[in-house]
Amino acid sequence: MSGRGFEAKAQLRRLIVRMGLLSAVLVGCAVLTAGVASAYAAAPHEPDPNPPVWPFVVGAVAAVAVVAIWQVRRRP
């Protein structure tokens, strides 16, 4: 196989990793936005709804850890 084939595969892998990270960030933002919106809808009479923060922190840390572990295991 030529060097171009390996280079193309490496570029494709980098693209897939970047798209995975981007989708993880977008999903995280969507989850955080939905959590705050549902907390406000549950208690609209409160001027400043305070949803608990720890579930979002745990979810974000878990998502980043999974992506990091996956990326380390996929290294050539």
Q: Express each pLDDT in 8-42 by its tens digit.
A: 888 888 888 888 888 888 888 777 776 666 666 66
What span, in angstroms and rounded, lies between the C-alpha atoms of 60 and 3?
Answer: 38
Cβ-contact 70, 24 below 8 angstroms: no
Q: Higher confidence at residue 76 or residue 71? A: 71
Distances in whole angstroms, Cα of residue 12 to Cα of each of 5, 18, 39, 64, 65? 11, 10, 40, 21, 22
For the entire predicted model, the pTM comes to 0.41
Average pLDDT, the chain: 78
The domain spans of the chain are 3-73
